[in-house]
Amino acid sequence: MGMALATSDVPIVKATTGIILMSTKAAKSPQPGPCIRCSRCVDQCPMGLMPNDLVRFVERGREADALAYGIRDCIECGVCAYVCPAKIDHVRWMRQGKNAVPGPGSAPRD
Protein backbone atom coordinates (compact mmCIF):
# COMPACT_ATOMS: atom_id res chain seq x y z
CA MET A 1 0.00 0.00 0.00
CA GLY A 2 1.02 3.57 -0.38
CA MET A 3 2.58 5.61 -3.09
CA ALA A 4 6.04 5.29 -4.55
CA LEU A 5 8.22 8.36 -4.13
CA ALA A 6 11.14 9.17 -6.38
CA THR A 7 13.09 11.01 -3.69
CA SER A 8 13.75 10.73 0.02
CA ASP A 9 13.24 14.48 0.49
CA VAL A 10 9.83 13.95 2.06
CA PRO A 11 8.92 14.71 5.66
CA ILE A 12 8.16 11.90 8.08
CA VAL A 13 4.90 12.72 9.85
CA LYS A 14 2.82 11.09 12.57
CA ALA A 15 0.68 9.26 9.99
CA THR A 16 3.74 7.63 8.35
CA THR A 17 3.49 3.93 9.09
CA GLY A 18 6.53 2.65 7.29
CA ILE A 19 9.21 3.22 4.70
CA ILE A 20 10.59 0.69 2.24
CA LEU A 21 13.80 1.51 0.41
CA MET A 22 14.53 -0.31 -2.82
CA SER A 23 17.27 -0.27 -5.40
CA THR A 24 16.45 1.22 -8.78
CA LYS A 25 16.46 -2.26 -10.30
CA ALA A 26 14.08 -3.68 -7.68
CA ALA A 27 11.72 -0.70 -7.92
CA LYS A 28 11.39 -0.86 -11.71
CA SER A 29 7.87 -1.85 -12.77
CA PRO A 30 7.61 -4.76 -15.21
CA GLN A 31 6.00 -4.21 -18.59
CA PRO A 32 2.32 -5.28 -18.29
CA GLY A 33 0.89 -7.86 -20.62
CA PRO A 34 -2.71 -8.49 -21.67
CA CYS A 35 -5.20 -9.68 -19.06
CA ILE A 36 -5.65 -13.44 -19.35
CA ARG A 37 -8.86 -13.36 -17.27
CA CYS A 38 -7.44 -15.78 -14.68
CA SER A 39 -9.52 -14.07 -11.91
CA ARG A 40 -6.71 -14.15 -9.34
CA CYS A 41 -7.36 -10.45 -8.68
CA VAL A 42 -11.06 -11.18 -8.11
CA ASP A 43 -10.32 -14.08 -5.77
CA GLN A 44 -7.94 -12.01 -3.62
CA CYS A 45 -9.79 -8.65 -3.51
CA PRO A 46 -10.63 -7.92 0.16
CA MET A 47 -13.54 -5.72 -0.93
CA GLY A 48 -15.12 -8.38 -3.16
CA LEU A 49 -14.67 -6.30 -6.32
CA MET A 50 -13.83 -7.42 -9.84
CA PRO A 51 -10.60 -5.53 -10.55
CA ASN A 52 -10.19 -7.05 -14.01
CA ASP A 53 -13.54 -5.62 -15.14
CA LEU A 54 -12.92 -2.28 -13.43
CA VAL A 55 -9.58 -1.87 -15.24
CA ARG A 56 -11.21 -2.74 -18.55
CA PHE A 57 -13.98 -0.17 -17.98
CA VAL A 58 -11.50 2.59 -17.11
CA GLU A 59 -9.27 1.75 -20.09
CA ARG A 60 -12.26 2.09 -22.40
CA GLY A 61 -13.65 5.26 -20.83
CA ARG A 62 -16.74 3.57 -19.41
CA GLU A 63 -16.77 5.42 -16.09
CA ALA A 64 -20.49 4.82 -15.50
CA ASP A 65 -19.94 1.07 -15.65
CA ALA A 66 -16.92 1.34 -13.34
CA LEU A 67 -19.02 3.29 -10.86
CA ALA A 68 -21.80 0.69 -11.06
CA TYR A 69 -19.23 -2.08 -10.37
CA GLY A 70 -18.08 -0.26 -7.22
CA ILE A 71 -14.81 1.42 -8.18
CA ARG A 72 -15.26 3.87 -5.28
CA ASP A 73 -15.16 0.89 -2.86
CA CYS A 74 -11.58 0.03 -3.86
CA ILE A 75 -9.19 0.64 -0.95
CA GLU A 76 -6.14 0.59 -3.26
CA CYS A 77 -4.39 -2.11 -1.23
CA GLY A 78 -2.51 -3.44 -4.26
CA VAL A 79 -3.29 -7.13 -3.74
CA CYS A 80 -4.80 -7.36 -7.22
CA ALA A 81 -1.64 -5.99 -8.84
CA TYR A 82 0.56 -8.24 -6.70
CA VAL A 83 -1.16 -11.49 -7.75
CA CYS A 84 -1.62 -10.53 -11.41
CA PRO A 85 0.46 -12.79 -13.69
CA ALA A 86 0.16 -10.16 -16.46
CA LYS A 87 1.71 -7.53 -14.12
CA ILE A 88 -1.14 -5.05 -14.71
CA ASP A 89 -0.94 -2.01 -12.43
CA HIS A 90 -4.51 -2.25 -11.16
CA VAL A 91 -4.05 0.45 -8.50
CA ARG A 92 -3.03 3.05 -11.09
CA TRP A 93 -6.14 2.24 -13.13
CA MET A 94 -8.35 2.37 -10.03
CA ARG A 95 -7.02 5.81 -9.11
CA GLN A 96 -7.52 7.03 -12.66
CA GLY A 97 -11.07 5.68 -12.67
CA LYS A 98 -11.93 7.23 -9.32
CA ASN A 99 -10.69 10.59 -10.58
CA ALA A 100 -12.82 10.27 -13.72
CA VAL A 101 -16.13 9.57 -11.98
CA PRO A 102 -17.98 12.40 -10.26
CA GLY A 103 -18.11 12.24 -6.50
CA PRO A 104 -21.26 12.43 -4.39
CA GLY A 105 -22.87 15.86 -4.64
CA SER A 106 -20.75 17.02 -7.58
CA ALA A 107 -22.05 18.20 -10.91
CA PRO A 108 -21.94 15.69 -13.80
CA ARG A 109 -18.93 16.02 -16.10
CA ASP A 110 -19.23 16.57 -19.83
**pLDDT, position 48:** 96
- Tens digits of per-residue pLDDT, 74-84? 999 999 999 99
Are residues 93 and 54 in contact, defined by beta-carbon separation less than 8 angstroms? yes
- Quote the pTM value: 0.73
Q: pLDDT tens for residues 3-25?
A: 777 777 888 888 888 887 878 88
pLDDT digits (tens, 9 = 90+) for 75-108: 999 999 999 999 999 999 999 999 988 766 454 5
* Secondary structure letter of residue 72 according to DSSP: G
CA 73 → CA 27, 49, 63, 82, 110, distances in Å?
27, 8, 14, 19, 23
